[in-house]
Structure 1
Amino acid sequence: MNRSILLLLLVSSGFLVACGQDPLVKRQVISIAPMDQKNQILQIDKHISLTARPEETFAFPIPLGKVGPADSLYSGKRQYPFYCMTLDAGIGQPLVDNQQGYGVAVYDKNDKVIGYSKDCMTISRIDYFYTLAGTDKILPYDLKMPPAREKIATTHIEGKPVPEIFRLERGSINRYIYFIAMLVPETSLGDRDAKQYWNNKLIYQFKGGASIGFRQGQMGASRFINRRHTLLRQGYAVIGSSGNNTSYSYNMLLAEDTARRVKSQFISLYGEPLYTLGIGGSGGGLAQYLIAQNSTGVLDGLMPIYSYPDMVSQSIFILDCDLLQHYFNITDNGNSKWKDWEQRENIEGMNGINGFEHPYTFLVPLNQMFAGAWPSMPNGSSECVYSWFIASTFFYNPKQGFVKPYFSDEVKEQVNWTYWQDLAQIYGTDDNGFARTTWGNEGVQYGLKAMQQGDISIDEFIHLNQYIGSWVPQDKMRKETAFTPLGMKFPIWLSLWGRNNITEPKSHVAKRKPSDPKAIDNGYRYGQVFIGKAEVPILEIRHYLEEDLNMHHTLASFEARLRMLEYQGHNDNQVIWISHKDHTPIDKGIAFLDQWLLARRNSEDKDPVMTKPLALVDSCIDEQGNVQFEGDNVWDGEWNNKPAGKCSKIFPTYSNIRVQAGGPWAGSIFKCGRVSISDAIEGGIYGDVPMQGYQQKLENIFPSGVCDYTQGDIAKPDLGLTPSLQAKKNNRSSPPSAVGVRRSLEK
């Protein structure tokens, strides 16, 4: 769990630059392979969930010592450049596949280049690991020199003690590294087929992180096993792939394709499981929502942790954050109101705390001076700053790229490094070759709620919307200005908040950016947006982290719920547990999901609502693991326009920038319908605030009108979907109620 996206992005993008020669330079990508493969992306008419997937073309299982498929089954051409990370994963160098210099160099034992790898393939192999007795440490098990029996921890299978020895298979599928882990008998070491201890239940491990793609990804063997150690020692099998780790890509079509094939590899070896349960946090949670929405046959149930409904709709407010910080710290620096972080909260919606320590506050006065504004040291922070710091640069600026030398300078200059470019085969490209983007802020009235509630004046509202501006077009963007002095790990950022890429006022108004309807259309059709279609058992778990200004805010759970309510007409198959950060109720949650999934498997109509365990309900949980309150209404609040429920009073939900601008709490409007200023005044968009005298000023700021969110997302296409669960709900009795059922969760 990261303190902020800053640290996450710095690690994954390489801003933590060490002094001296970086060993990565030796194996950086120095030339981009041509994209000449015939592999095509799945063709979508309406919504991706309505499109059948093609028959498998690869003959699973992959034999040991051989390689899996390089081309995906249906998610498009191979992406280049592609940085190999097999060495980082501890399985050696990738296989040589060319002599033309494409990809990374591969060396012999004398450190001489013997060829290059553009596709990062590795052979399938098996290794063994064990748990060191008295600890949770996972260590390699050497078949030639096995550890003493007393050094190996013991677990129990069917009441009998057995040593904790795990077989781990790794190889490459769709160019990513796959993992298959299982508890095995000590007497079966060397036998790939042994499955005596498997309980016939399968866990698919997903992982989160922030990404702009172009990397293979990796996870150490011990880490992979340790992450699901509790389940492995019970007999569950656990599978996964670096392609299902959003630290390396947010392409959810490719993630689904990869997960399906990793599961096929498992089934070809060990047979069909009773069920496959997804588990994973942050990006690993949203991946579950989207794979379950878009397809069948991969996941039977979900345990999203710290989840978001999807990444692309989070970018709607994320890319507002730096625009607001530039406005608060530079444009309207003279307004003392913005020194108060609770005042900023009225505009940002996300939590703001006066006196909160931020390690990089020294960059603020430095940038103010460079911009000609009076410098001041911030005395506090907000989620917008602390957690989403430099996110706009990372996700949106095509000139930024990786600072860590995965790619040579020549390669860096040839690639547009953005979240959308990673998914260019889905979103499409514009006339300049840049991936189309979904983000825009035309018609958005920042701070609308704050003005309606009297937290800011009409003049402050006008000034904010007049000068906040937007991001310049991608072909006009410049690389951020930063340098790393000798001995420092963090760069001195001289263009904080992306201020060199924000539109300048012309005729006293800073121009806004329109959303691209083609990108939005493709995002919806290809299932990059969660629309609320997830007709499987779901238990969403998160810690309450608002007081830490953590990016994993509570609202994300209720965004997913609101979208399910809109699509299905109910959310009865989604349960939300929020706990104190000192308690993690995952093991108890697994027990409930196991009961639920088995009941659904044995049910005649497979209805996930009617098979849900009676005691599995929305809950808030304290640091000891005790349920404080539970039931159908405990999370009610402003997000669903109801009085605050008992859990909401303990763990309050904050909003975000677009909600504070009058948008819906579901957070999925990429392109708003607009109305004229006169119609907005007449229609009550400003509430009781008398705006007639400001009509001309507003028309100058919003010449094409302001957002009328009652029109929904006007770029959302007709997806041709009919909610199957809603049809069932209309013809069944009410689902079992568990309101008032008390239970205690064991720590």
Structure 2
Amino acid sequence: MRWFYYLLTLVLAILLGVLGYFQYLRWTHPYHQMQVNRLPPPVDVPVIDYRPHLALVTRPDDTYFFPIPLGEVGPSQPLYAGPRQYPFFCMTLLAGLGQPAVDNHQGYGVPVYEERGGRPGSRIVGYSRDCGLPSRLSYYFADIRGQVRRYDPGAPPPPEAVAQTRLGSDLVPEIYRVESGTINRYIYHIAMLATPQQARTEAPWWNRKLIYQFHGGSGIGFRQGRVKPIRLLSKRREQLRSGYAVITSSGNKTSYTYDMIRAEDTARRVKRQFTSLYGQPRYTIGIGGSGGGLAQYLMAQNRAGVFDGALALYAYPDMVTQTLYGLDCDLLNTYYAFRARRNHRWQDFDNRVSLEGMNARAGFDHKAAFLEPLNQLLHGRWPSWPEGSSECINGWFGLSALIHNPHQGYIRPMFSEPIQARGHWSYWEDLVEIYGRDARGYARSAWGNMGVQYGLRPLVSGQLTMGEFLHLNRHIGSWRRPHRMEAESIWLPLGNKLPLWLSLWGNHNITEGAPAERRQPDPIAVERAYRSGQVFVGSNPLPVIDLRHYLEPELDMHHLSASFEARARILAWEGHRDNQVIWVSHRDYTPIAEAFAAMEGWLEAKVRGEPRPAGLEDQCFDEQGKVIYRGEDAWDGEWNHREPGACSQRYPHFSNSRVQAGGPWLGSVFQCRLIPLEQAVARGQYGSLDVGPYLARLKAIFPGGVCDLTSADALRPADLNPALGF
């Protein structure tokens, strides 16, 4: 029946190909109408000199005099984050804020059309290179059902439809003033309780506390991004109605960039716009999930001065070290599907945990199960239908093409074909001003897997045979150098609704051979990643509540072990974890209110010069919000080589492919120190196994040696240690 369904799908796809073509055009129509066709001449503006580390560098005084006047466009050139990135796609119209301001007539950037009835017409009146949006005020209200809606001061809603909130002894209408504009070309918003009758600088209900809202997502730059006011107000409604002000920027949404210098430059200026209007807050609390969580870890470490305490939700320590195991996923998926000798062994998804470390489950719904047998047939291999899924698939599916392949990039329809052909579309390219370019003009990459013995831990524990271990490491290979990579082969017979990925797992960009070639990271890229503050080394100067739902059973990419990765780095750097607590809850309960209350108490104590309040500890919650356990040992477990604590028992954690290869839990080893096989045997890397009969085969697979499991990152700058004083 599966094959009948699969053949029927293909037939329907072919018959509907013409329809799919028109659907594809309709999907890309807004991008074609606004497509960037011409780029301005490059301007050489250096990034701030971040040596020896960004945290130790004084940021320059701002050259722009804030606040931005209403009706005017804010600064477009970053203060210290380097040149403006081009190509750059404007998204003010897609954000519901209208077209960007015309700033040239030479054809640079997106076209701006004549307005007709409040909508773009067909006649181009100019172009926007830098996506400027004149600063403006708009108003919103929460109705009695709790829905946030646009407020038109000229036609106010009935008084009974507006919700009210109590501030002290006063009942206040829940009407919000939102200031919007652009800073560093990204859209910013400032939101607080206010009515249209009050002047821009009046804030009678502000409680002198500020929230900086960060946002997550996976992005590779080249876009302005969007944060819609109604979504922002709805997300932070409880805090806004209690008197908080909230500020944010699309430049602090990792869907649009992971460049933490650019993000910091933008966040500092957005906060400066706020303080120039309303004065300094008593304190600022950062909040954001996933990429918005890791941004807080990094900005706190890098002494950005944007917030005083962080609510890091679903956080990773940083982006660049997550690529180490994240990009292993498709190497392993390619091995299972196309290279494994005993394919049925790995079609049992429960077995994959031993290699990947992250969770995998037989019987779990696979995101694109039909693609695997299709691709196996194309490779001349007997097809098999996946009988489960893994976090590698459910959570990280497609990210190798998005973040690592310079010839892919799903944002390409925003740019003309000549610009697409000239550009490189990857996470590394987004940060090229930091990582630099190689001799062939491609952005340097910090990823590598030289000397990594995939599956070493399950080999030693008996979950993997020596034959399986040797075959895996002989054939798994590595990602090709960027100049040798090719775009993914994806057919869109039904537009974007049914992509047929004909190079599944990016297998055509993975080295082949027996043994398949491994790759070292670029040492220049790694050094610059460390010094520019893209790597979380563990410096933890500000209070952080690391908060997440327990999502391992859902194979969600926001795995629990990321909290322990951050904890391990903090302990290694600080020698304690006084400024970090880890909270985990059942997915049916979200303790955000408790987190805000706890952070307020923590910051008030800090203002008084007191330590973290008693009782503010690691803890876990059940589905009703009841605290299961609270204490220093709550999260003890394999990550710190202790017996599982009460929370670890309730919410067990997994690991990742580099940990399963014998690496450390702190997860920041770009390139291990290589040692000869004989030395690895002498150190007991293979436990009680007799490796003698296999030594020659191991040397053929690892001619340069294997990872020294007792050493730190070989490429980490030697002077980068706590003695630097940050």
Select 1:405's aligned residue among 372, 395, 413.
413
Partner residue in 2 for 1:537? 543
Inter-CA distance 80–291: structure 2 relative to 1 (3 Å threshold): same
1:131 aligns with: 142
2:569 to 520, 541, 563: 563
- 1:596 is displaced (CA, Å) by 0.9
What is the DSSP-based 3-state SS (H/G/I as helix, E as strand, rest coil) of the residue aligned with 2:255? coil
2:249 counterpart letter in structure 1: S
Of 680-689 and 575-584, more deviation after overlay is shown by: 680-689
1:389 to 1:333, Cα distance in 2 relative to 1, 3 A: farther
- Whether the 8 Å contact between 2:540 and 2:574 is mirrored in structure 1 is no
**8 A Cα contact 1:35 1:79, kept in partner:** no
2:715 is the alignment partner of 1:715: yes
Match of 2:155 among 138, 145, 158: 145
Q: Which amino acid letter does the alignment assign opposite residue 76 of structure 1?
A: G
| Pair 1:353 & 2:364 matched | no
**Counterpart among 106, 122, 125 of residue 114 in structure 1:** 125
Higher mean Cα deviation, 276-285 or 39-48? 39-48
Q: Which of 306, 317, 331 pairs up with 2:314?
A: 306
Contact kept, 8 Å, 2:113 with 2:126, in 1: the verdict is: yes
- Per-residue Cα deviation, 1:307-330 (whole angstroms, up to 9, x for no partner): 000010000001100000110111
Partner Cα distance (2:124, 2:304) in 1:
45
Q: Write the deviation string for residues 482-506 of structure 1: whole angstroms up to 9, x where unpaired.
A: 111136603100000101111110x
CA offset at residue 719 of structure 1? 4.3
Partner in structure 1 of residue 64 of structure 2: 58
Give the C-alpha shift of residue 296 in structure 1: 4.2
Alignment partners' CA distance in 1, 2:708 and 2:720: 25
Distance 1:563 1:281 in 2: 20
Choose the corresponding residue for 1:455, options 436, 456, 463: 463
Cα distance in structure 1, aligned partners of 2:208 and 2:496: 51
Hey, what does 2:657 align to over in structure 1?
Answer: 657
Counterpart of 1:308, as a letter, is Y
Kept after mapping to 2: 8 A contact 1:532/1:565: yes
- CA offsets 1:380-431 (integer angstroms, 9 cap, x no match): 0110111111211111110002266211222111111000100000111101
1:338-377 to 2 correspondence within 5 Å?
338-377=346-385
Q: Does 1:179 align with 2:189?
A: yes
Over residues 45-83 of structure 1, what are the superposed CA-to-partner deviations in whole Å (9 max), with x where a residue is unaligned?
211101111111110000001111111111100000000
* Equivalent-residue separation in structure 2 for 1:625 and 1:687 (angstroms): 44
User: Cα distance, 1:44 vs. partner?
Assistant: 2.1
Contact preservation (8 Å) 2:51, 2:532: no
Aligned residue for 1:98?
104
* Counterpart secondary structure, 2:708: strand
**Structure-to-structure mapping, 1:259-278, within 5 angstroms:** 259-278=267-286
Does structure 1 residue 291 correspond to structure 2 residue 299? yes
1:456-605 equivalences in 2 (<5 Å): 456-486=464-494, 489-505=497-513, 508-603=514-609
Match of 1:330 in 2: 338
Matches within 5 A, 1:405-444: 405-444=413-452
Q: Deviations over 1:223-264 (max 9, x none)?
A: 111111110000000001000000000000011111100000
Cα distance change, pair 20–724 in 1 and its aligned pair in 2 (3 A): closer
* 1:34 maps to 2:23: no
Residue in 2 that maps onto 1:737: none
User: In the alignment, residue 171 of structure 1 is paired with which amino acid?
Assistant: G
How many percent identity over aligned positions? 50
Shift of 1:189: 2.7
Q: Is the alpha carbon distance of 1:719 and 1:243 closer, same or farther for their aligned partners in structure 2, counting shifts above 3 Å? A: farther
Q: After the TM superposition, which of the residue ranges 290-299 and 165-174 deviates more from structure 2?
A: 290-299
1:364 maps to a residue whose letter is E
Q: Look up the match of 1:76.
A: 82
How much does 1:115 deviate?
1.1
Shift of 1:16: 13
Q: Which amino acid aligns with 1:144?
A: G
* Cα deviations by residue, 1:626-668 (Å, 9 ceiling, x for unpaired): 0011100010000000011111011001000000000001111
Question: Does the 8 Å CA contact 1:17/1:489 hold for their aligned counterparts?
Answer: no
1:720 positional shift? 4.8
Q: Secondary structure at the match of 1:111?
A: strand
Give the whole-Å Cα distance in 2 for the aligned partners of 1:700 and 1:462: 10
Asked if 2 retains the 8 angstrom alpha-carbon contact of 1:205 and 1:280, the reply is yes
SS at structure 1 position matched to 2:172:
strand
The secondary structure found in structure 2 opposite 1:323 is helix
Specify the SS of the correspondent of 2:74.
Answer: coil
Q: TM-score, normalised by structure 2?
A: 0.95
| Partner secondary structure for residue 70 of structure 2 | coil
1:98 CA displacement: 1.6
What one-letter code is carried by the residue in structure 2 that aligns with 1:378? P
Secondary structure of 1:451 counterpart: helix
CA distance in 2, matches of 1:89, 1:601: 39
**Residue of structure 1 in register with 2:243 after alignment:** 235
Structure 2 unpaired stretches of 5+: 1-19, 116-120
Confirm or deny: 8 A CA contact 2:401 2:409 kept in the other structure.
Answer: no
Say which SS state the counterpart of residue 565 (structure 1) adopts.
helix
Contact 1:348 1:656 in 2 (8 A): yes
Task: Report the Cα offset of residue 18 of structure 1.
Answer: 4.0
For 1:172, give the aligned amino acid.
T
- Between the two proteins, the alignment pairs up a number of residues equal to 700
C-alpha RMSD of matched pairs (Å) = 1.6
Residues 75 and 184 in structure 2, CA contact (< 8 A), matched pair in contact too: yes
Deviation readout 1:182-238 (Å, 9 max, x if unpaired): 012x4x535101111000000000000000110000011101111111100000000
Query: In 1, distance between residues paired with 2:722 and 2:317?
Result: 20
| Deviating more after overlay: 48-57 vs 710-719 | 710-719
| 725 and 71 in structure 1: CA distance in 2 versus 1, 3 angstrom threshold | closer
**3-state SS of paired residue (1:712):** coil
State the alpha-carbon separation in 1 of the partners of residues 135 and 436 from structure 2. 34
Q: Which has the larger displacement, 714-723 or 89-98? A: 714-723
Residue in structure 2 matching 1:258, options 251, 266, 278: 266
Q: Distance in 2 between matches of 1:442 and 1:333?
A: 23
Contact 2:50 2:57 in 1 (8 A): yes
Q: Distance in 1 between matches of 2:715 and 2:200?
A: 51
More displaced, 262-271 or 677-686?
Answer: 677-686
| Distance in 2 (alpha carbons) for counterparts of 1:116 and 1:419 | 27
- AA aligned to 2:615 is A
SS of alignment partner, residue 710 of structure 2: strand
Alpha-carbon deviation of 1:139?
A: 0.9
Q: In 2, distance between residues paired with 1:24 and 1:516? A: 35
Listed one character per residue, the Cα deviations across residues 90-143 of structure 1 (whole Å, up to 9, x for unaligned) are: 11111111222111110002420111111101110000100011x221111111
Please state how far the C-alpha of 1:150 moved relative to its aligned partner. 0.6
Contact 1:309–1:556 (8 Å) recurs in 2: yes
Unpaired segments of 5 or more residues in structure 1?
Answer: 1-14, 604-609, 727-747
> CA, structure 1 residues 18+544, in 2 after alignment: closer, same or farther (shift >3 Å)?
farther
Give the Cα separation in 1 of the matches to 2:382 and 2:398.
Answer: 22
Per the TM alignment, residue 722 of structure 1 is displaced from its structure 2 partner at its CA by: 3.4
Whether the 8 Å CA contact 1:138–1:226 is kept in 2: the answer is: yes
Q: Could you tell me how far apart the structure 2 residues matched to 1:382 and 1:708 are?
A: 29
